């Protein structure tokens, strides 16, 4: 093992590499990068024990700008490469950086399985609803009708809901935030603290190919009417003055947006967020009129890399000290003299 470096208070600068950042001016990725560089020191992370693994796409350039270990891999496969790394060295703090194309299109299978296995790492999915690096084709999260070079008459693909995909894979941590949000570091910290695979969808603006697609949600003026920031144990209220909220419609088993004080709606009618409730989380992934942000679901589960370690201990208990000489002689042998 390497010698321990002297204990040091790290700052944002310690996590920034010397490479010039080459995203387009105004790209939401800048804000996400800054949030990550700001958050890591506060979590006690060290550059040498932190690894960023990415696939291919605009977001996947991320590791080059972090002064940590990093691996810019191949399209869609980052979750699998991160899995191997975490199995090789479970002590590392592993982050996967992916996008809606990389993670949900070409790499959908790997994202599904890394979540299902619950490997202890963080997955940041930058969702800009477009293919940026290949110059603007529609992605698996683009809205129907999206006009792009590959869909001149509008996309006919039905978009998927990333958080719903994650819940379907039985992810144990599902959160959502957006690029310029002040609450992004909070979501990142929660993801890092969770043991197991943490999935964070980050709504991210692409100023070149899909500019303003999240403006209603992220704009300082219009945003409050569309952002529902979840807090465990608190009523799910939103709006500029917290006047709106979610009420359960028992007859359809769905959530509806209501205004407190109107039509006899009171504070008591607003559903309290329970982040361990998978059914509630499922409804929160795709609400009418409002976007749920923060931690949608968090429920501890068996962690794959820990189970691997447990089985290895079990094997050592059962089979004893590894002995190559004995291994080659297991079963039937005979001697020729």
Partner 1 sequence: MEPSAAARVQPSPRETLDSVIIRFAGDSGDGMQLTGSQFTTATADAGNDLSTFPDFPAEIRAPAGTTYGVSGYQIHFASHDVQTPGDAPDVLVAMNPAALKVNSEVLKTGGLLVVNSGAFTANNLKKAGYEVNPLEDGSLDRFRVLALDVTKMTLDAVKEVGLGSKDANRCKNMWTLGLMYWLFGRERDQTVGWLKNKFAKRPKLAEANIAALNAGHIYGENAELPHGINAYQVPSANLAPGEYRNISGNEATAWGLVTGARLAGLEVMYGSYPITPASSLLHNLARLKHFGVTTFQAEDEIAAVAAAVGASFGGSIGVTGTSGPGVALKSEAIGLAIMAELPLVIVNVQRGGPSTGLPTKTEQSDLFQAVWGRNGDAPLVVLAAATPGDCYYMAIEAIRVAATYMTPVILLTDGYLANSAEPWLLPDVDALKPFPVAFHQEPEGFHPFSRDEETLARVWAVPGTPGLEHRIGGLEKDRSTGHISYDPHNHHLMTSVRHDKIAGIARDVAPAKVDQGDNHGDLLVVGWGSTYGSIRQAVSVLREKGHQVSHLHLRNIWPLPEGLGHLLDSFHTVLVPELNNGQLVKLLRAEYPVDAVSLPRVTGLPFRIGGLIQAMEERLHGSAI
Q: Which residues bind partner 1 (CB under 8 A)?
A: 1-5, 17, 19, 46-49, 51, 53, 56, 63-64, 66-74, 77, 79-89, 91-92, 109-110, 112-113, 308, 311-312, 314-316, 318-322, 324-325, 327-329, 331-337
Write down the least CB distance from residue 247 to partner 1, Å: 40
- CA distance linking residue 12 with residue 235, whole number of Å: 35
CA 334, CA 337: separation in Å to the nearest integer?
Answer: 10
Of 46 and 151, the one with the shorter C-beta distance to partner 1 is 46
N-term to C-term CA, the chain: 46
C-alpha–C-alpha distance, residues 193 and 285, integer Å: 22
d(CA 46, CA 11): 10
| Residue 77 vs 244, nearer CB to partner 1 | 77
Nearer to partner 1 by Cβ, of 238 and 304: the residue is: 304
Extract the tokens encoding 46. Answer: 């060290």
Asked if 173 and 191 count as a contact pair (C-beta separation under 8 A), the reply is: yes
- Size of the chain, expressed as the number of residues it contains: 337
CA 115 to chain centre: 10
Tokens 């992810």 belong to 171
Select 221 or 332, whichever has its Cβ closest to partner 1.
332
Minimum CB distance to partner 1 smaller for 80 or for 203 = 80
Looking at beta carbons only, is 96 or 125 nearer to partner 1?
Answer: 96
Cβ-based nearer residue to partner 1, 249 or 329: 329
DSSP string, 218-260: HSTTTGGGTEEE--TTSB-EESTTS-EEEEEETTTTEEEEEET
Closest CB 54 distance from partner 1, rounded Å:
8
User: Contact, 287 vs 247, CB < 8 A?
Assistant: no
For 291, the enclosing helix (H) or strand (E) is: strand 291-298
| Side-chain-facing half-sphere of 191: CA atoms under 13 Å | 32
Least separation in angstroms between CB 60 and partner 1: 9
Residue 103's Cβ-count burial label (10 Å; 0-12, 13-18, 19+) is buried
Q: What minimum distance in Å lies between the beta carbon of 131 and partner 1?
A: 18
Residue 197 CB, shortest distance to partner 1, in Å, is: 14
How far out from the chain centre does Cα 312 lie?
29
Rounded to the nearest 5 degrees, what angle is found at the Cα of 87, between the Cα atoms of 114 and 195? 60
Is the distance from CB of 188 to CB of 45 less than 8 angstroms? no
**How far apart are CB 166 and partner 1 at their closest, in Å?**
16
The nearest distance, CB 112 to partner 1, in angstroms, is: 7
Q: Which is nearer to partner 1, 79 or 223 (CB)?
A: 79
Given the complex with partner 1, which of 67 and 299 has the nearer CB atom?
A: 67
């Amino acid at each position: 093992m390497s010698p321990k470096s002297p204990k040091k208070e790290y700052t944002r600068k310690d996590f920034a590499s010397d490479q010039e950042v080459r995203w387009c001016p105004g790209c939401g990725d800048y804000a996400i990068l800054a949030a990550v560089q700001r958050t890591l020191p506060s979590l006690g992370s060290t550059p040498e024990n932190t690894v960023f693994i990415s696939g291919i796409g605009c977001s996947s350039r991320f590791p080059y700008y972090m002064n940590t270990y990093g691996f810019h891999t191949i399209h869609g496969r980052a979750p699998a490469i991160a899995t191997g790394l975490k199995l090789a060295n479970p002590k590392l703090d592993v982050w996967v950086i992916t996008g809606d194309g990389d993670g949900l299109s070409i790499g959908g299978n790997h994202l599904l399985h890394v979540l299902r296995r619950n490997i202890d790492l963080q997955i940041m999915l930058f969702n800009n609803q477009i293919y940026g690096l290949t110059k603007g084709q529609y992605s698996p999260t683009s809205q129907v009708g999206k006009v792009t070079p590959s869909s001149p008459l509008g996309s006919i693909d039905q978009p998927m809901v990333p958080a719903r995909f994650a819940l379907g894979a039985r992810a144990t941590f599902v959160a959502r935030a957006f690029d310029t949000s002040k609450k992004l570091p909070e979501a990142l910290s929660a993801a890092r603290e969770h043991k197991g695979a943490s999935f964070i969808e980050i709504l991210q603006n692409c100023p070149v190919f899909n500019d303003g697609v999240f403006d209603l949600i992220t704009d300082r003026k219009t945003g409050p009417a569309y952002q529902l920031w979840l807090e465990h144990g608190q009523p799910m209220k939103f709006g500029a003055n917290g006047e709106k909220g979610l009420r359960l419609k028992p007859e359809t088993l769905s959530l509806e947006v209501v205004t407190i004080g109107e039509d006899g709606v009171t504070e008591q009618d607003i559903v309290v967020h329970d982040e361990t409730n998978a059914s509630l989380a499922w409804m929160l992934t795709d609400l009418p009129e409002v976007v749920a942000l923060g931690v949608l679901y968090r429920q501890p589960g068996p962690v794959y890399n820990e189970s691997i370690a447990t089985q290895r201990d079990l094997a050592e208990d059962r089979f004893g000290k590894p002995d190559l000489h004995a291994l080659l002689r297991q079963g039937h042998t005979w001697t020729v003299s």
